[in-house]
C-alpha cells in the first residue's frame, strides 16, 4: 500500500491517548497517511525528536532547558502547541474515612525528599488523622506527571521521596490505592474518572485558608484546581511542519482536540488557545514559551499571546 505520507509521533504516555484519538479520527478521513504513535515518555520522546527521528513529540511538560540546548546544537526547530489540560487526582482508598481534604503543605510533608523514611503515618501529617501507616503511590520517575507533581508540590522537578510505589502504569496505582486503607496516590484525572468506584477523590486546598477544590473540567480549565492541573503539549518539528499532510494533521488536531480531550478524560483548553495555537503554527512560530518560566499556575492564553 502506498502512503502519501508518514507521520512519526512519540513521547509522553499522558498525551498519548489524546494524540491516539486524534490520529484515529484523522485516519478515517485520510487513510493514506500513515501515523504511528509511540510511548516512550516525554523525555524519551524528546530525545528522538531532537535527533530528528520523529515529526511530532508528545509532551506532558514543556521542553526543558537542557533539551533546548540540544535542539540548538542539533539545529532542530520546533513549534510548541498546548493541546489540553490534565488535572492530577489525589486519591485514597474508599475505605479511608478520615480524609476530608488535603492541603498543598500536607502533600509536601508527605512527598518531600526530606520525608523519606521519616513520615510513615497519617498522624505525622495531620494530628487529627489516626496512626495509620502511610503508603504512597505515584507516577514513575520518568513520566511528565511525576515531573509536574514534584515541581508543583515540592517546588522542584524530580524532587521527591523515593520510598513509594512508583509505576508508569497507572492502573497498577489504581489497584494499589484502592485496596490499601493507608494508601494515597496521585495520577491523571482520566484514571480516576474510569475508576470512580474503586477510589475516593480528595479535594485539595491551595492554602489552609482557601477552599478545598475537587478537580473537574471547570475547576481545571479555569485554573481553580491549583496547583495540580497542567497543560499538555505536542511539539512539531519545523521541517515536518512544512509538509502539507502534517499541516493537515495539526489542523485536524486543533479542531478536534477539545471534544476528543473530553472523551479521553482530559480537560480541553479554552477555544481561544486552540485558535491561537493554530495561528502560531501556520506562522511557524518556533521555540518554547516556557523558557525560563515555571509552568505551575501559568496562564496559557497570556503566555501565548505575549509571544505574539
Ligand X SMILES: O=P([O-])([O-])[O-]
Calpha distance 164→182 (Å, rounded):
12
Distance between first and last Cα of the chain: 42
92 phi and psi, to 5 degrees?
-130, 175
| φ and ψ at residue 8, rounded to 5 degrees | -100, 120
User: Which one of the spans 45-53, 122-130, 235-243, 271-279 is the region binding another protein (CB under 8 A)?
Assistant: 45-53
45 near another protein (CB under 8 A): yes
d(C-alpha 165, C-alpha 138), whole Å: 6
- Indicate the residue among 31 and 212 with the shorter CB distance to another protein: 31
Nine-digit cell string for 254: 486543533
Site for ligand X in 47-66 (CB under 6 A): 60
Q: Is 169 in the site for another protein (CB under 8 A)?
A: yes
- Closer Cβ to another protein, 80 or 180, answer by number: 180
Query: Vertex 149, ends 43 and 141: CA angle to 5°?
Result: 45
Dist CA 215 CA 225 (whole Å): 6
178 is an interface residue for another protein by CB under 8 A: yes
**In which region does residue 64 sit, left (phi positive, over 0), alpha (psi from -120 to 50) or beta (all else)?**
beta
Per-residue mark of binding to ligand X, 144-163 (x: CB under 6 A): xx------------------
42 binds ligand X (CB under 6 A): yes
Q: Is 73 in the site for another protein (CB under 8 A)?
A: no
Cα-flanking dihedrals φ and ψ of residue 239, to 5°? Answer: -60, -45
Task: Pick out residues in 258-297 that bind another protein (CB under 8 A).
Answer: 263-265
Stretch that binds ligand X, among 68-76, 137-145, 208-216, 296-304 (CB under 6 A): 137-145
**x-or-dash pattern for ligand X, window 95-134, by CB under 6 A?**
----------------------------------------
Query: In this structure, are strands 56-59 and 229-237 parallel, antiparallel, or unpaired?
Result: antiparallel
Among 194, 217, 248, 255, binds another protein (CB under 8 A): 194
Task: Give residues in contact with ligand X (CB under 6 A).
Answer: 12-15, 41-42, 60, 143-145
Amino acid at each position: 500500500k502506498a502512503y502519501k505520507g508518514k507521520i512519526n509521533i512519540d513521547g509522553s504516555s499522558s498525551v498519548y491517548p489524546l494524540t491516539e484519538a486524534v490520529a484515529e479520527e484523522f485516519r478515517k478521513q485520510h487513510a493514506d497517511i500513515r501515523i504511528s504513535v509511540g510511548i516512550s515518555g516525554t523525555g524519551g520522546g524528546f530525545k528522538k525528536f531532537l535527533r530528528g527521528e520523529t515529526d511530532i513529540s508528545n509532551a506532558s511538560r514543556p521542553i526543558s532547558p537542557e533539551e533546548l540546548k540540544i535542539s540548538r546544537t542539533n539545529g532542530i526547530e520546533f513549534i510548541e502547541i498546548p493541546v489540553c489540560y490534565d488535572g492530577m487526582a489525589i486519591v485514597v482508598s474508599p475505605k479511608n474515612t478520615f480524609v476530608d481534604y488535603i492541603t498543598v503543605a500536607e502533600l509536601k510533608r508527605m512527598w518531600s525528599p526530606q520525608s523519606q523514611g521519616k513520615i510513615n503515618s497519617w498522624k505525622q501529617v495531620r494530628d487529627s488523622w489516626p496512626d495509620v501507616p502511610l503508603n504512597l503511590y505515584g507516577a514513575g520517575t520518568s513520566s511528565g506527571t511525576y515531573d509536574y507533581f514534584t515541581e508543583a508540590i515540592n517546588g522542584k522537578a524530580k524532587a521527591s521521596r523515593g520510598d513509594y510505589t512508583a509505576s508508569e502504569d497507572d492502573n497498577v496505582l489504581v489497584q494499589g490505592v484502592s485496596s490499601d486503607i493507608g494508601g494515597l496516590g496521585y495520577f491523571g484525572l482520566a484514571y480516576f474518572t474510569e475508576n470512580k468506584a474503586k477510589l475516593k477523590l480528595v479535594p485539595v486546598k491551595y492554602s489552609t485558608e482557601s477552599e478545598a477544590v475537587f478537580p473537574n473540567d471547570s475547576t481545571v480549565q479555569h485554573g481553580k484546581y491549583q496547583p495540580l492541573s497542567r497543560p499538555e503539549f505536542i511539539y512539531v518539528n519545523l521541517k515536518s511542519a512544512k509538509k502539507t499532510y502534517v499541516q493537515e494533521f495539526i489542523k485536524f488536531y486543533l479542531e478536534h482536540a477539545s471534544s476528543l480531550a473530553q472523551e479521553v478524560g482530559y480537560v480541553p483548553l479554552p477555544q481561544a488557545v486552540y485558535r491561537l495555537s493554530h495561528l502560531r503554527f501556520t506562522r511557524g512560530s518556533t521555540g518554547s514559551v516556557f523558557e525560563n518560566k515555571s509552568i505551575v499556575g501559568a496562564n496559557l492564553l497570556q503566555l501565548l499571546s505575549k509571544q505574539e
